[in-house]
């Protein structure tokens, strides 16, 4: 193919590709069109911190789009204007090459500096804004401490004190009041983790022996996905958590429930242990543990978990409560009011009210809870609970697992 024909074809494809690319970029503002509103989208935001970061991203996109159009336009112009039109021109000796026009080079340097300044101004403004709660909002700030472990998150509420036990503590689900700035003090215990809720705030590292913090706010009630964003070992990819933002009244009700002791379900007279579900089925490797119904309306699913399960069997729950101590579960987990005071694993005082287990990996229902109890190492490789089974020679029959599930689900 002659060079001129090749250049002509290239120019045509270039114009078509440029048009499609420009359309894609210009349509980027409609993130629903491109399905960019997923669980951990940084485009579909729900709070002022994430929105400030998104504004910086858009400014950068527009500046780079202008640069792309200018550079692409000059390249297309030079390709079309100075292409060889005849065979003789193709064979001609190229003209003497030079360094170009000094004014043009200085102008390009100036344009580059201007582009950087345009990006730098909102970037610096965003850094100052997202660093800490603005002064005018600090009086309304709610403070929480988040601690990263391999591989789960502990959340402490310093302002919610429980007589004789200290502050309210939960695991893997961070419940916050919507509309209020939340200052999160982040801490690391074993290795470096990173706290990240894409729709509400940016990433901040959780470094052992070094205090760090961030702030965020949910504009309205909602259910948000969080993730550890710093590689921290075997199960880093499945070290997740959830943020549930509630209205002021719902949040106050939740705090009242969480600060109360664990729920007790007494067996009825003459009641015998009876399983509420079938025996454990076989799970495929890496099989998802979240139902479609939950995924569509997670906040509603979470709210439904705050109420007791239907058809509870008090005798089976009592059997599970005894097994919880006998199988040394109480050595790692706390269940306030039931004599379990372990600190190695998450607090389970109200685990039945959580929507997810295994640090946000699988749904908190009977089947998935038994799946986790049966073989935690298969669900989350390398976790300390699986190691505890080996170290303490813990053996559970199917009947034991069913009773433990009934007990844990009763802890609302």
3-state secondary structure of 310: coil
In degrees and rounded to multiples of 5, residue 307 shows phi and psi of: -110, 150
Strands (E), 220-323: 222-228, 240-246
At 327, give phi and psi (nearest 5°): -90, 15
Contact 359, 152 (CB under 8 A): yes
Q: Do 140-260 and 261-412 fold alike per CATH? A: no
Q: Output the pLDDT for position 54.
A: 94
- DSSP characters for 160-202? EEETTTEEEEEESEEEEETTS-EEEEEEESSS-EEEE-TTT--
For the chain, give every domain's residue range.
3-131, 140-260, 261-412
Instruction: Provide the pLDDT for residue 282.
Output: 81
Rounded to whole angstroms, the Cα distance separating 221 from 34 reads 25
- Each residue's pLDDT tens digit in the chain (412 positions)? 343 443 344 334 444 444 445 444 444 444 444 557 788 989 999 999 999 999 999 999 999 999 999 999 999 998 898 888 888 888 888 777 767 778 888 988 999 999 999 999 999 999 999 999 999 999 999 999 999 999 999 999 999 999 888 899 999 999 999 999 999 999 999 999 999 999 999 899 999 999 999 999 999 999 999 999 999 999 999 999 999 999 999 999 999 999 999 999 988 887 787 776 666 788 887 888 988 888 889 999 999 999 998 888 999 999 999 999 999 999 999 999 998 888 899 999 999 999 999 999 999 999 999 999 999 999 999 999 999 999 889 999 999 999 999 999 999 9
Strand ranges (DSSP E) for 57-211? 142-149, 152-162, 166-171, 173-177, 182-188, 193-196, 204-206
Q: What is the CATH number of domain 261-412?
A: 1.10.760.10
User: What Å distances lie between residue 78 and 7, 73, 75, 81, 82, CA to CA?
Assistant: 11, 9, 5, 5, 6
Neighbours of 103 (CB within 10 A): 8
pLDDT at 269: 80
The count of residues in the chain is 412
> Which 3 state secondary structure label does DSSP give 239?
coil
Hey, what CATH topology would domain 140-260 get? Answer: Immunoglobulin-like (2.60.40)
- Phi/psi region, residue 166 (left: phi>0; alpha: psi -120 to 50; beta: rest), is left
């Amino acid at each position: 193919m002659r060079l001129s024909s090749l250049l002509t074809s290239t120019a045509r494809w270039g114009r078509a590709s440029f048009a499609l690319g420009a359309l894609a970029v210009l349509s980027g503002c409609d993130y629903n069109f491109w399905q960019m509103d997923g669980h951990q989208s940084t485009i579909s935001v729900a709070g002022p911190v994430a929105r400030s970061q998104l504004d910086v991203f858009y400014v950068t996109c527009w500046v780079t789009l202008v640069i792309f159009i200018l550079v692409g336009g000059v390249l297309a112009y030079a390709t079309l204007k100075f292409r060889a039109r005849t065979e003789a021109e193709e064979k001609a000796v190229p003209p003497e090459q030079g360094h170009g026009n000094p004014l043009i080079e200085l102008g390009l340097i100036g344009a580059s500096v201007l582009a950087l300044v345009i990006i730098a101004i909102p970037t610096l403004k965003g850094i100052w804004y997202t660093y800490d709660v603005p002064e005018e909002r600090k009086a309304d700030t709610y403070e929480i401490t988040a601690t990263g472990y391999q591989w789960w998150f502990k959340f402490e509420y310093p302002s919610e004190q429980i007589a004789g036990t200290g502050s309210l503590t939960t695991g893997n689900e961070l419940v916050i009041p919507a509309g209020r700035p939340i200052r999160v003090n982040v801490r690391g215990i074993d290795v470096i983790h990173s706290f990240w809720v894409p729709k509400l705030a940016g990433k901040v590292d959780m470094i052992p022996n070094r205090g760090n913090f961030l702030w965020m706010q949910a504009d309205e009630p909602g259910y948000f996905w969080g993730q550890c964003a710093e590689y921290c070992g075997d199960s880093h990819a499945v070290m997740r958590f959830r943020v549930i933002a509630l209205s002021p009244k719902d949040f106050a009700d939740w705090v009242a429930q969480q600060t109360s002791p664990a729920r007790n379900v007494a067996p009825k007279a003459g009641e015998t242990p009876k399983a509420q579900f079938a025996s454990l089925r076989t799970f495929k490797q890496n099989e998802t543990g979240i139902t479609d119904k939950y995924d569509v309306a997670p906040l509603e699913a979470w709210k439904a978990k705050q109420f007791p399960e239907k058809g509870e069997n008090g005798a089976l729950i009592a059997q599970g409560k005894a097994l919880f101590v006998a199988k040394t579960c109480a050595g790692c987990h706390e269940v306030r009011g039931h004599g379990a005071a372990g600190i190695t694993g998450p607090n389970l005082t109200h685990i039945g009210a959580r929507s997810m287990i295994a640090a946000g990996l699988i749904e908190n229902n009977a089947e998935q809870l038994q799946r986790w109890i049966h073989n935690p190492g298969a669900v989350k490789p390398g976790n300390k609970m699986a190691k505890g089974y080996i170290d303490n020679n813990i053996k559970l029959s199917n009947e034991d697992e069913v009773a433990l599930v009934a007990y844990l689900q009763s802890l609302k």
